[in-house]
Amino acid sequence: MKAIVAMDPNRVIGNKGKIPWHISEDFKWFKQCTLDQSIVVGFRTFAGLPKLRDRNVFVLDCSATACYNAGFTIKNKQGLEGILEPFRPDFPPSIEVYSKWERWVCGGAKTYSLLLPYCNEIYVTHVLDKYEGDTFMPPFEHLMPNSKILREEKDFRLVKYWVTEVEDLI
């Protein structure tokens, strides 16, 4: 799995259920990466999204008050897909249903916290200005120690982070 996110210097990713900035180039980048792919989002993130065409959207919906202990129900546009048990070693089995499509983790903060340990890449748009926010990107840098700047603009910097693969060491 891969992840994609935009965050400001204070790790803000949202404010009152919305993205606090509007950077059209970042929206184009998100579309380019996720078009004809599967995306995985939390319920609150899904509620704030516009209709995303040509993507298979999986929504992680808390099945109990203590989400991290109880697991999640995965739903997509076809209906219930199964139960996601976050701490199983063979996780995530239910998302494999659409294995021909790349799977992208797209937020929010709880979903990133839960799924980033299972991702091998994350693409981060570092928004250069600071914004008010109530939702923050959890730390991920310790999981993906490699990074490369892919693009620099006046308002943002796009960086790819990844896990060192065994092949990289040979």
The model carries a pTM of: 0.78
Which residue ranges form the domains of the chain, and what is each CATH number? 2-169 (3.40.430.10)
Question: In sequence order, which ranges of 122-170 are alpha helices (DSSP H)?
Answer: 166-169
Instruction: Note the pLDDT of residue 71.
Output: 41
CB 31 within 8 A of CB 127: no
Grade residue 62 by pLDDT with cuts at 50, 70 and 90.
Answer: low
Q: Which whole-number Å values give the CA distances from 117 to 1, 136, 138, 142, in the listed order?
A: 10, 17, 11, 10
Looking at per-residue pLDDT, the higher value among 91 and 4 belongs to: 4
Looking at per-residue pLDDT, the higher value among 55 and 25 belongs to: 25
111: phi > 0 → left, psi -120 to 50 → alpha, else beta; which?
alpha
pLDDT over threshold 60, residue 89? no
Q: Which two tokens stand for residue 73?
A: 């129900």
- List pLDDT tens digits, range 152-164: 999 999 999 999 8
Q: Which two tokens stand for residue 64?
A: 């109990």
Least confident of 53-62, 68-77, 142-151: 68-77
Mean pLDDT (the chain) is 79
